[in-house]
Chain A
Amino acid sequence: MTDSKYFTTTKKGEIFELKAELNSDKKEKKKEAVKKVIASMTVGKDVSALFPDVVNCMQTDNLELKKLVYLYLMNYAKSQPDMAIMAVNTFVKDCEDPNPLIRALAVRTMGCIRVDKITEYLCEPLRKCLKDEDPYVRKTAAVCVAKLHDINAQLVEDQGFLDTLKDLISDSNPMVVANAVAALSEIAESHPSSNLLDLNPQSINKLLTALNECTEWGQIFILDCLANYTPKDDREAQSICERVTPRLSHANSAVVLSAVKVLMKFMEMLSKDLDYYGTLLKKLAPPLVTLLSAEPELQYVALRNINLIVQKRPEILKHEMKVFFVKYNDPIYVKLEKLDIMIRLASQANIAQVLAELKEYATEVDVDFVRKAVRAIGRCAIKVEQSAERCVSTLLDLIQTKVNYVVQEAIVVIKDIFRKYPNKYESVIATLCENLDSLDEPEARAAMIWIVGEYAERIDNADELLESFLEGFHDESTQVQLQLLTAIVKLFLKKPTETQELVQQVLSLATQDSDNPDLRDRGYIYWRLLSTDPVAAKEVVLAEKPLISEETDLIEPTLLDELICYIGTLASVYHKPPSAFVEGGRGVVHKSLPPRTASSESTESPETAPAGAPPGEQPDVIPTQGDLLGDLLNLDLGPPVSGPPLATTSVQMGAVDLLGGGLDSLMGDEPEGIGGPNFVAPPAAAVPASLGAPIGSGLSDLFDLTSGVGTLSGSYVAPKAVWLPAMKAKGLEISGTFTRQVGSISMDLQLTNKALQVMTDFAIQFNRNSFGLAPAAPLQVHAPLSPNQTVEISLPLNTVGSVMKMEPLNNLQVAVKNNIDVFYFSTLYPLHILFVEDGKMDRQMFLATWKDIPNENEAQFQIRDCPLNAEAVSSKLQSSNIFTIAKRNVEGQDMLYQSLKLTNGIWVLAELRIQPGNPSFTVLQLSLKCRAPEVSQHVYQAYETILKN
């Protein structure tokens, strides 16, 4: 069969002839004519003049002819909207045709005609087709809703099509389900905030059933939709994973990658101890490897995604190094990606193979690839310490080739190796110096200069070498100039006698002859340092440098987690969240991995944690009697215990709840000194600072004033709260708070005697607690406390007491004794009093530690309504010993990386994302990583307390 005849050019009166043929009585002739028209249209001829004649052919029961006419209509309706209206009636009629193919065809075509006037007529037929008895019609209609939405979103909403579409998710036919999901996903994309695809376990089940039976394209939509669902617990996550795993064996790579996304995301919820977790890890490797045998374009996308996957879960592909070996005729974009993944997978076990490969690549033709291979050798040396020596000798071999760009790359990476392993490979410096003249790239020159400066004392002619660079100082790039300045200053500090002239020369070049403010500033700083205090200069310039980290280009952990949620999408190719590059994204919806929630433990998960709960709220923590009796009876409370036995006390405590109301009113009648007594203790945070002030001392007033501005004098101090109401303690009321100032913790107490007798012989004791808090001195109440008298005491605390894990963690059980009785109460101390002053972690350390702590230990929190910018947040937190190590701006959001250390040496690492927005509605996203994840919840509360006060 050949169709070329339709495309042969005809004579001049072509249109005229066609017109005649279109109006012919013979069906065959008509069909031939329409085919000719379509052929002309395809090659770009204007056959719009035939519009009425073609539309006339529409009323036929011949499906083929109808299709051709519809094709014509789709093309010309836009340019001939008025005439297109003529066809509407036929469309409406066709939508009720007994043949389902014609019904579907009609509704599909109407959706493709992007003419407003037509769309109005589309609504009724579409509504019928969405509920058609034939699944083929329903599935076509489902897609039509998305098309219509693109033309007129309001119309679709007004007509209630979205709800009908949602109903189709529960359709009995898998193709209909798949298309409904596809349509809803597309619509949802223009409404990121809408919950069109609000999934529940029932609809998930429907989707999973449809997944097995629909077309490959439908499977992709369903899988992508599943990936947006958050299972309620690990069991649900596992059961979804089990049903998604067979998709890994699909021939369509897009299906495979979408399935990988679902699994990577839901795996997050599974415990590593589960057998299933291991099974899943094993199942993920083969399909990923298989993607690499596909066409190069598919390989590229797969590799970009694998790059993310190996960063998130290196264990999946750790035995598959060889599939990333480069073939010489791979496209360059595949080669570069493979190389990157090879380095990520490099370990002691496979380093020999990797190095052999890299050496091979370093002799290839493509310059970019060779450069990257040389750099990769350096990265291996830094990553796998055992291989460093071999890497260095490989690099030296490469330098011997004298291939210019190879030498330069090698020198740049050798500089990094020196940084990582100081004083180990300096023997190679001589070889490096031989190549000084061939270096013409700024990065290589700067690296070489750094090496000369750093090891000036071992290089005899260091001054000559640096001087040779100095000749063309002004022609060098800034990078080289800055490096040269520093190197000469280093040289001067090491060999001051011979190099005075040189250093003066470079300082004057940098400060007087340069237009570059960075260079001038650095020059002046050195100059002043050297002229005022050479010893200090030495300490500053020759200070020990922090080690460089193993992996240089890791993706930030939260960004990585977000990107894992976008596996298979453009975001995964660009390694940026979609908000950073997709146009027209109306709202930014950040995806995040689901937190791990085991079905068996019903305890608070980070998400269910009361984000808005007032900090420092005092839940009624009544210690169990056993604990108290056991621990407190043995306490040495100083003066002998007098008064009723303990049993009475506990009875009294138990009775309070019952009698609360009565006692309240009874005692209210008693003579009263200061204000009205608060027998029922209000939550601390509910007492605004100003209200707390009348009772508070002068000292706490001061803090109240300054706490909003970010005080330097110490950690945030909460207003005092009533810990022990008078009615529970025979008239002794204790309120208090905790403070931390310059490294010392104290409990600021206010004792009020609301009884009618004088109180004496005070003593205090703590029960064992999670962090070993204990009084560092006895409770000193110097004079007897007369009725209605109040005394303020600051009790110094230390953290060397005995330790017992409490529930909640920051629970502190306290016994206070006086001449009347022993009283017990519990309070929760804010965790930030335990944040020590040296909690600032080194940057590299931070990176390494963050990576090192398993992801299960990461907890996410939100702090709402905190209208502060990054600086304010940083300084506020710093005053409570939460230190900002680094700040970054990622797509308009500030990210703060922070660390803090608890008194018992536990480090907590934090990433704080500040989402700017309406100033009154800023949300802070807090991710905490800690080896002891149980503290995270309390650290979060500390953050909230500090930031909101």
Chain B
Amino acid sequence: MIHSLFLINCSGDIFLEKHWKSVVSQSVCDYFFEAQEKAADVENVPPVISTPHHYLISIYRDKLFFVSVIQTEVPPLFVIEFLHRVADTFQVGSSNVGDTLPTGQLSNIPWRRAGVKYTNNEAYFDVVEEIDAIIDKSGSTVFAEIQGVIDACIKLSGMPDLSLSFMNPRLLDDVSFHPCIRFKRWESERVLSFIPPDGNFRLISYRVSSQNLVAIPVYVKHNISFKENSSCGRFDITIGPKQNMGKTIEGITVTVHMPKVVLNMNLTPTQGSYTFDPVTKVLTWDVGKITPQKLPSLKGLVNLQSGAPKPEENPSLNIQFKIQQLAISGLKVNRLDMYGEKYKPFKGVKYVTKAGKFQVRT
């Protein structure tokens, strides 16, 4: 399977290597660096690279590359999934030499250790929905879907057996489950029945793609134009609430990758603050929340490189936002029941909707 693993930082230092079979020389990473150079942007490095004697399968996470060296035919997804788990582990622990090393699992339920004990027994669920959308120039939706997850934080003693039911389970037709969930129960009764792992874990992830179920909570009015044979352009965007179900939209950020010929931007926001990085050409406007009385807008002039032709492409706007206490798909938890243990746990469900990859074309 994986022969060796190299961890490489953004400046190209190989700062960790691990070899499972024989040692593979660091020079194998040169092929990776070559690809990185060709890709220009770190995010564009192809995840599978072939070299004369090996295959390099890599992921890019938190400004680090995890590069694995492969010698035989393997499922690349296996390797990529594994690398992401490795990355997860590095994020959680600060060091790989812990005070207590994890022990082998001997319980019948491989995801739960035996003998769990809490004084306060609690079960919390976060329903988090992200809207991925592409909105075209005229404001109509080209593509929209909801990526939802239910993350659980379970601190329950013993071997609790939980059943989570929904008001409207029919919404969930494309779901990925944590292995603890009994698939048959779901198929027959649309109830999530499971003995949970201890602690934090992702219970399910789901996708709602039927266009009429995906509400678009914000709209953007925009006017970005560059004049022919002139070194300036106009920039004007306004954000307003659309289908927000009466909730406040907050945490709004707009990010725009401006064309290369843009030198600087001279803008005035009606609320929040903006920055423009002349090196990366990224405009970031931290808007805050929308108050319907006065819609936030950002207006002003764009300075272009003089003599350069006017940009062919119009930049897309990347919108971030957050709506508390709302699952935009309408998904609602009905009840949580616990079997197998006698105590009464404390239960809680929280909903939040966010923008995922939410793009407005201009």
Give me the interface of A with B, judged by CB distance under 8 Å: 1-4, 6, 35, 38-39, 42, 63-64, 67, 100-101, 104-105, 114, 134, 136, 150, 175, 186, 189, 212, 214-217, 220, 224, 246, 249-254, 256-258, 286-287, 289-290, 293, 295-298, 300-302, 322-323, 325, 327-329, 331-333, 353, 356-357, 360, 363-365, 401, 403, 568-571, 573-574, 578, 581-585
Against A, the Cβ 8 Å flags (1 = close, 0 = not) of B34-53 are: 00000101011011101001
Binding-face segment, B140-148, B157-165, B265-273, B327-335: B140-148
| Interchain CB contact (< 8 A) of B74 among A3, A67, A249, A570 | A570
Q: Say yes or no: B202 contacts A63, CB within 8 Å.
A: no
Q: Are A289 and B73 in contact (CB-based, < 8 A)?
A: no
Residues of A within 8 A of B240 (CB): none
When the two chains form their complex, are residues A286 and B174 in contact, meaning their CB atoms are under 8 A apart? yes
Contact of B259 among A322, A365, A573, A581 (CB under 8 A): A365
8 Å CB contact of B77 from A175, A212, A254, A293: A254
- The answer to whether residues A329 and B318 also contact, given A189-B73, A300-B47, A569-B73 and a CB cut-off of 8 A, is yes
Whether the Cβ atoms of B359 and A327 lie closer than 8 Å is: yes
Residues from chain A with Cβ under 8 Å of B259 in the complex: 365
Contact (Cβ within 8 A) A573 B76: yes
Minimum CB distance partner of B179 in chain A: A216
**Residue in A67, A100, A251 whose CB lies within 8 Å of B176:** A251
A1-B316 in contact given A293-B147, A300-B47, A325-B143 (Cβ < 8 Å): no
Are B104 and A136 in contact, with the CB atoms below 8 A? yes
CA distance A365 to B134 in the complex (A): 18
Q: Are A175 and B357 in contact (CB under 8 A)?
A: no
A215 to B60, CA, bound (A): 25
In the assembled complex, the CB of A405 is this many whole angstroms from the nearest CB of chain B, namely 11
Q: Could you give 25 example pairs across A and B, Cβ below 8 Å?
A: A6-B97, A105-B104, A114-B22, A186-B1, A212-B183, A246-B187, A249-B176, A251-B202, A251-B205, A253-B80, A254-B78, A293-B147, A301-B77, A302-B77, A328-B316, A329-B318, A329-B359, A353-B142, A363-B313, A365-B313, A568-B76, A570-B48, A570-B70, A570-B76, A583-B71
Cα distance, A290 to B149, chains bound together (Å): 12
Q: B177 at interface (Cβ–Cβ under 8 A)? A: yes
Please give, as numbers and ranges, the residues of chain A lying within 8 Å of B236 by CB-CB distance: none
How long is the Cα–Cα vector from A217 to B316 in the complex, in angstroms? 40
Closest 7 CB pairs of A and B: A286-B174, A254-B77, A297-B47, A3-B95, A254-B78, A328-B316, A322-B143
| Residue pair B105, A290 in contact (C-beta under 8 Å) | no
B66 to chain A, nearest CB (A): 10
Please report the C-alpha to C-alpha distance between residue A246 and residue B182 in the assembled complex, in whole angstroms.
10
Q: How far is the CA of A42 from the CA of B44 in the complex (A)?
A: 32
Report A-chain residues with C-beta under 8 Å of the C-beta of B313: 363-365
CB of B98 within 8 A of CB of A323, answer no
Q: B147 — which chain A residues lie within 8 A by C-beta?
A: 293
Are A570 and B98 in contact (CB-based, < 8 A)?
Answer: no
| Closest A residue, CB atoms, query B17 | A44
Inter-chain contact A574/B50, CB cutoff 8 Å: yes
B178 touching A254, Cβ below 8 Å: no
Query: Is the CB–CB distance between B94 and A2 below 8 Å?
Result: yes
Whose C-beta in chain B lies nearest to the C-beta of A401? B312
Give, as a whole number of angstroms, the nearest-CB distance from A361 to chain B.
10
The reply to whether A301 and B48 contact each other, CB–CB distance below 8 Å, is yes
B207 close to A (CB within 8 Å) = yes
Pair B44/A331 contact, Cβ less than 8 Å? yes
B94 with A3: CB separation less than 8 A: yes
A353 — which chain B residues lie within 8 A by C-beta? Answer: 142
> Known pairs A290-B176, A297-B80. 13 more at Cβ < 8 A?
A2-B95, A104-B104, A186-B1, A250-B177, A251-B178, A253-B77, A286-B174, A301-B47, A327-B134, A328-B361, A329-B357, A573-B48, A584-B71
With the chains together, A296 CA to B173 CA distance in Å? 24
In contact, A189 and B72 (Cβ under 8 angstroms) = yes
A333 x B1 contact (CB < 8 A): no
The residue from B104, B143, B260 contacting A323, defined by CB atoms under 8 A apart? B143
> Nearest-CB distance from A650 to chain B (Å)?
62
Which parts of B293-344 form the interface with A (CB within 8 Å)?
A: 312-314, 316, 318
- Chain A nearest Cβ from B31, distance in angstroms: 15
Contact A325 B44 (CB under 8 A): no
Max chain B C-beta neighbours (<10 A), residue from A67, A214, A252, A287: A252
Residues of A within 8 A of B134 (CB): 325, 327
Contacts of B92 in A (CB 8 A): none
- For A39, what are the chain B residues with a Cβ–Cβ distance below 8 Å? 97
**Across the interface, do A250 and B44 meet the contact criterion of CB distance under 8 Å?**
no
Q: Which residues of A contact B99 (CB under 8 A)?
A: 1, 3
Chain B: minimal CB distance from A403 (Å): 6
Q: How far is the CA of A112 from the CA of B205 in the complex (A)?
A: 37
Closest to A151 in B: B21
> B94 and A323: CB pair below 8 A?
no
**Cβ–Cβ contact A253 & B50, under 8 A:** no
Instruction: Scan B191-218; emit 1 where CB is below 8 A from any A CB, else 0.
Output: 0000000000010010101000000000
Q: Are B359 and A328 in contact (CB under 8 A)?
A: yes
C-alpha spacing A252/B176, complex, angstroms: 8
Task: Tell me, yes or no, whether B257 is within 8 Å of chain A by CB.
Answer: yes
Q: Is the CB of A323 within 8 A of B47?
A: no
How far apart sit A253 and B75, CA to CA, in the bound complex (Å)? 11
Q: How far is the CA of A571 from the CA of B73 in the complex (A)?
A: 8
The interface residues of chain B lying within 8 Å CB-to-CB of A186 are: 1
* A150-B21 in contact given A67-B101, A363-B312 (Cβ < 8 Å): yes
**CB neighbours of A332 from chain B (8 A):** 39, 41, 44
B183, A224: Cβ atoms under 8 Å?
Answer: no
The residues of B that contact A251 with a CB separation of less than 8 Å are 176-179, 202, 205
With a cutoff of 8 Å between Cβ atoms, the chain B residues found around residue A328 in the complex are 257, 316, 359, 361
Tell whether A327 pairs with B77 under 8 Å between CB atoms, given A3-B95, A136-B106, A363-B313. no
Cα–Cα distance between A82 and B311 once the two chains are bound (Å) = 70
User: Min CB distance, A265 to chain B, in Å?
Assistant: 15
* Distance from A188 Cβ to chain B, minimum over Cβ atoms (Å): 11
B55, CB-defined interface residue at 8 Å: yes
Query: What CA separation (Å) do A825 and B110 show in the bound complex?
Result: 72
B50 in contact with A581 (CB, 8 Å): yes
- How near does chain A come to B72, taking the closest CB pair, in angstroms? 6
| Cα-based distance from A100 to B71 in the complex (angstroms) | 33
- Indicate if the CB atoms of A290 and B71 lie closer than 8 Å: no
Q: CA of A217 to CA of B1 in the docked complex: distance in angstroms?
A: 12
Taking CB atoms, residues of chain A closer than 8 Å to B286 are none
Interface set, chain B 68-124, CB cutoff 8 A to A: 70-78, 80-82, 84, 94-101, 103-106, 110
CB distance from A332 to the nearest CB of B (A): 5
Report the minimal beta-carbon distance from A294 to chain B, rounded to whole angstroms: 9
Tell me the smallest distance from the CB of B25 to a CB of chain A, in Å.
Answer: 15
Judge whether B58 is part of the interface by a CB distance below 8 angstroms.
Answer: yes
**Cβ-closest chain B residue relative to A247:** B183
- CA–CA, A162 and B147, complex, Å: 45
Establish whether residues A287 and B44, one from each chain, have CB atoms under 8 Å apart when the complex forms: no
User: Residue of B at shortest CB range from A219?
Assistant: B179
What residues of chain A lie closer than 8 Å to B361, measured between beta carbons? 328, 360
Cβ contacts under 8 Å, A329 to chain B: 257, 318, 357, 359
Closest chain A residue to B182, Cβ basis: A212
Cβ of B312 and Cβ of A217 under 8 Å apart? no
With both beta carbons as reference points, the residue of chain A lying nearest to B103 in the complex is identified as A101
Q: How far is the CA of A126 from the CA of B77 in the complex (A)?
A: 32
Q: Are A293 and B106 in contact (CB under 8 A)?
A: no
Contacts of B22 in A (CB 8 A): 114
Q: Is B152 close to A, CB under 8 A?
A: no
* Chain B residues within an 8 Å CB radius of A290: 174, 176, 205, 207
**In the assembled complex, B126 has its CB within 8 A of some CB on chain A:** no
By CB atoms of chain B within 10 A, which of A214, A302, A401, A570 has the most?
A570
Cα separation A331 to B45 with both chains bound (whole Å): 8
Cα separation A365 to B261 with both chains bound (whole Å): 12
B232 within 8 A of A: no
Closest to B105 in A: A136
- Interface residue ranges of B8-34 to A (CB < 8 Å): 21-22
